[in-house]
Structure 1
């Protein structure tokens, strides 16, 4: 199981491949993941936003977890499974299941849609953490409709069992307030802000963009961790145009298109209501991905 001290570096949230009939494509998943883990990232995240968690059934997550563990058998790589929903009871049940499936920690998003009070959100995380399995909190207000104050997030991070935070709050303001007074690791979850977050003292990132040009993202982290911020900035600047294109239309649609084009998965199919990317974005991604080292 992951501890606070283990939570650092670059974690890659993986996509969930579907065939053209929107059925789970485990064969593509195994091929894609086997290729991806040849890189020395610090962990894999299954069933996150990038994995289309809103439309992936929980039993399908179990099948993917089994496949992931088989692919990763020869490599000691942490597996984080997204278990958070807008139902506290369901999130608890999923956290228990993720532990049985061999996860090393779970990623639990701030409960969405219901627009709970901040006290309700704290209790939500307290109950998930009471399972006794490591929990990474995930703040992403652009998707949940809930924006937590730094004070509330600090109370969540102070809970036993919460080992860190994925901060996709849309900027660096939350991290700026938390990092000086927080002993638990904060990972950047907003790809375009990776360099800024590392400069502030973030422990790393959970980055969908790191599915492609993975080595360059690992270099950014390693260069920053060694104190060579100017080199990290130069490396990151080369990646930034691609990051911006990958998030121009809703993630993971651009990423899936690119992975399919590169032959890592058989199809860029997404589950409705997600739709494939525009022709214009396809052209831009195709041109840009060829020139980034």
Structure 2
């Protein structure tokens, strides 16, 4: 299982491949995931935002978990499973199931849509953490509608069983407020802010863009760790156009199109209500490949 010490480095949130009928495409999943395993990434995330978690049934998450473990053999790589919902009881049930599967941690998002009080949110995380599987909290107010204060997030990180945070808060204020005094790791979840967060003391990143140019993202992390600031800036500046392109339209639509164009997926299909990228975006992504 993951802990506060080894939750660091580059974690890649996996996409969920579908065929043209919007069914799971396990053949593409195996090909795509195996291509990532040539890199020394520190872990993966199943059923996160990039994996289209709102439209993936829990039974399908179990299928993907088994497929991922099969691809990994004999290599051991941490798997974090997205288990957070806006229903505490369901999040607990999913976390228990992920623990039974052998997952190394769960990713639990701040409860969305219902806009609970901060005390309710803290209790939500406390109940998930009580399951016994390590919990990575996930703050992404652009999707949840609730932005937590530094003080509230610190109380969540103080909970036993919460081992760290994926910070996709959209800025640097949360990380800057937490990092000076927080003993638990914070991972950047805002791809374009990776370099800034690493300089603040973030332990790594959980980045959708790292599905492509994976080696360069690893290089940025290593260069910052080694104190090679100028080289890290150069490497990251070369990545920024790609990052901005991949988030020009809703993630993971551009990413899926690109992976399909590279031949790693049979189709860039997304599940409705997500739809394909625009023709203009396709042209820009195609230009990136050339």
- TM-score bracket for the superposition, by shorter chain length: over 0.9
Secondary structure of 1:163 counterpart = strand
Match of residue 193 from structure 1: 193
- Name the CA distance, whole Å, in 1 between partners of 2:189 and 2:238: 19
Structure 1 position 43 matched with structure 2 position 43: yes
Match of residue 52 from structure 2: 52
Match of residue 280 from structure 1: 280
Secondary structure of 1:176 counterpart = helix
Gaps of 5+ in 2: none
Structure 1 position 110 matched with structure 2 position 110: yes
Match of residue 142 from structure 2: 142
1:1-293 counterparts in 2 under 5 A? 1-290=1-290
Gaps of 5+ in 1: none
Residues 5-24 of structure 1 deviation map (CA, whole Å, 9 limit, x = unaligned) = 00000000000000001011
- Name the CA distance, whole Å, in 1 between partners of 2:67 and 2:102: 11
Residues 73-121 of structure 1 deviation map (CA, whole Å, 9 limit, x = unaligned) = 1212110000000000000000011111121000000000000000000
RMSD: 0.6
- Name the CA distance, whole Å, in 2 between partners of 1:241 and 1:32: 23
- Name the CA distance, whole Å, in 2 between partners of 1:174 and 1:289: 35
Moved over 3 A (4+): none
**CA contact 1:42–1:77 (8 Å) conserved in 2:** yes
- Name the CA distance, whole Å, in 2 between partners of 1:22 and 1:118: 37
Residues 5-58 of structure 1 deviation map (CA, whole Å, 9 limit, x = unaligned) = 000000000000000010111111111111111110000100000000000000
- Name the CA distance, whole Å, in 2 between partners of 1:162 and 1:289: 40
Name the TM-score, length of structure 1 as normaliser: 0.98
**CA contact 1:69–1:102 (8 Å) conserved in 2:** no
- Name the CA distance, whole Å, in 2 between partners of 1:134 and 1:35: 27
- Name the CA distance, whole Å, in 2 between partners of 1:100 and 1:37: 24
The size of the alignment, in residue pairs, is 290
